[in-house]
Amino acid sequence: MFIFTQFFSQIVYFTQTLVNLAARLESANKGYNTELMISESTYSQLSPHKFKTRFLDEIQVKGKSRSIIVFEVCDETSKNSAMAASFT
């Protein structure tokens, strides 16, 4: 039972940490006049050449001891996104 409780506590902690970071990045969007901002860890998991991104800044996020590098996701670069854009 103790192992399950410890495991569950870790899951809750990591989930809260991720949700907090997402909320901080969402509110930081306003200052950069962007719509979709992602952290360096998310950026590193994107498929190469699938999304147009641009480096924004290195920001200090409340609750984090070190700064976070952030990027803006500008657009999907696939043919499907170009076709979808032509219909809107």
Dist. CA 85–CA 54, nearest whole Å: 20
Dist. CA 58–CA 70, nearest whole Å: 6
pLDDT score of 78: 53
Domain that holds residue 32: 2-87
Number of compact structural domains in the chain: 1
Count CB atoms within 10 A of the CB of residue 24: 19
Section 21-44 average pLDDT: 89
pLDDT score of 14: 65
Sign of CA dihedral 55, 59, 62, 66: positive
- Output 63 or 44, whichever has higher pLDDT: 44
Enter the DSSP assignment of 44: T
Enter the DSSP assignment of 65: S
The position carrying tokens 């909320």 is 23
Task: Flag whether pLDDT at 81 surpasses 50.
Answer: no
Dist. CA 76–CA 52, nearest whole Å: 6
